[in-house]
Each structure stands twice: as structure tokens, then as C-alpha cells.
Amino acid sequence: MATGDADSGPQADDSAITEAEAVADLLADELSRLGGPARQRLAEVLRQLGAIDRAVYAAIASVPAPALDKAMRRLSNAADHSAIWLAIAGGLALTGPDGRRAAGRGVLAIAVTSALVNVGVKSLSGRRRPDRAGAGVPGRRHVRMPSSTSFPSGHSAAAFAFATAISRDSPWLAVVLQFLAGSVAYSRVHTGVHYPGDTIAGALIGASAGQAVSSVFDRALRAYGDDKAGRVIGP
């Protein structure tokens, strides 16, 4: 099961990104081409959001944070291929029927979200990875630079998909998992492999997918339970 950012290929070079290559700027250019005052205003908003996205990335890269560097690097690596979420799911599965149901929902949410992001959205976005060297991201923060496109963040999507799905059966874990998911999303910016906008988009996609998968999962379980009860009772 491919999870997180698709980084099983060769390590990508840190690539410089021009303004036109940002997703927001690509959308802005298309809106400008279509014309119309409303589209022009929206295009300007998108260009400004793209500029803010790059500025926040540069600011995080330039601010010394030695107390966070090692922890963020380890957390980012732990989320590769959703290893941290699968480990949590395994632990939940050992706690009983409710835990197994939550674990199944969470793993299914990761699988669906990863396919949506890595096979679908990433193949369409074309946004290059940040230029870590140009931004001055300290070497001690570096993790493997994935070969996939930058938008959206697969790690963030998988994290929030799992956290959202688990929260239905384990509300006591919801706050902890959402915080951990947010930390994973930030770690991808801190280590220099994503822009903030990539992780925000990934989080939104993941939370939405996790909610949708959970709803389908619950309906399937209820249908199975009703069918099983009907067979036991008989005509």
C-alpha cells in the first residue's frame, strides 16, 4: 500500500521554483486568460496567496530552531509510508472489537486518500519541490526529498485522513491524533520538502476523505449487521 508522498523512486534534486510554477499562480494565470473583472480579482488573490506561501516557507527556513530540528526530522521520517499511523492502528487493533473497527477505518482512509493524492492530484499539479539550498534550510533538518510533485502533501493527507477516521470510534484519541497529524504536516515544511500551502491542502483533502470513508465504512458495517441479524432470525 503506497502511503504518504510517493518517494520510493530516486531522490529528487532540490529544484528552483518560479512564480508561475506555484499552483496558485497557475490558477491565477488561467483566470486572467479567461478575463472578466471577478476572475481578475480572484486571480490577484491567488497570486498573493502564492507569494505568502513562498514567504512563509522562506521564513521558517531562515529561523534557527535547533531544539526542533531533530524532532521534526524524526517525525517526518516516521510518517514515511504512513508507518506511524499503521503502528497506531496495530496497537488499537489489540484493544478489542472497537479498536479493531477504528483501526480498519483508519487504514482504509489512508489507502483511499493515498490513492487520491498520489495517483490523482499530484499527477495533475506539476508543482516542483522547494529549493532547500536556495532557501537556506539547514542540513541537519534534511530528510529525503521525494521525487513526486510537491502539491499536495501526501504525508499531511494521510495523517489527517487517519486522525479523522479514528476519531469516530476513539474520541479520546481524537485530540492527540489531530495534534500529531498537525505536527507531521509542519515537519514537512520544517524539513524543507513542502511549502505550507501543500500541507494545508493535504490536510483538507485528508480530513475530507477520512470523513467520507468513515461514513461509507459505517454504512457497510450497519448493512452487514442487519443482514446477519436477518439470517439468524430467519423468516
41 within a domain of the structure (yes/no): no
pLDDT digit string, tens, across residues 77-108: 999 999 999 999 999 999 998 889 899 999 99
The predicted structure's pLDDT at residue 78: 97
Contact call for residues 47 and 24 (beta carbons, < 8 A): yes
Average pLDDT rounded to a whole number, residues 153-179: 91
Write the burial class of residue 234 (CB in 10 Å: 0-12 exposed, 13-18 middle, 19+ buried): exposed
Is residue 222 in a domain?
A: yes
Predicted confidence (pLDDT) per residue in 202-216, tens digit: 999 999 999 999 889
Q: Which domain holds residue 149?
A: 67-233
User: Is 23 contained in some domain?
Assistant: no
**Which pLDDT does position 22 carry in this prediction?**
56
* 153 grid coordinates: 502533501
Amino acid 8: pLDDT: 41
The pTM for the full model equals 0.82
Share of the chain above pLDDT 90, in %: 57
Asked, for residue 46, whether it belongs to a domain, the answer is no
The pLDDT, as a whole number, for residue 48 is 87
Identify whether 128 is part of a domain: yes
* Neighbouring C-beta atoms of residue 37, cutoff 10 Å: 7
Q: Using one digit for the tens of pLDDT, what is the confidence trace for 105-150?
A: 999 999 999 999 988 898 887 788 999 999 999 999 999 999 889 9
d(CA 4, CA 156): 8
Q: What pLDDT is recorded for position 47?
A: 82
Per-residue model confidence (pLDDT) at position 25: 64
- Total domains in the chain come to 1
**pLDDT at res. 189:** 97
* Mean model confidence pLDDT for the chain: 84
The total number of residues written for the chain in this structure: 235
* CB within 8 Å of 97: residues ≥ 6 apart: none
Res. 233: pLDDT tops 70: no
Q: Name the pLDDT band for 29 (thresholds 50, 70, 90).
A: low
In a domain? residue 21: no
Question: Is residue 61 domain-resident?
Answer: no
32 assigned to some structural domain = no
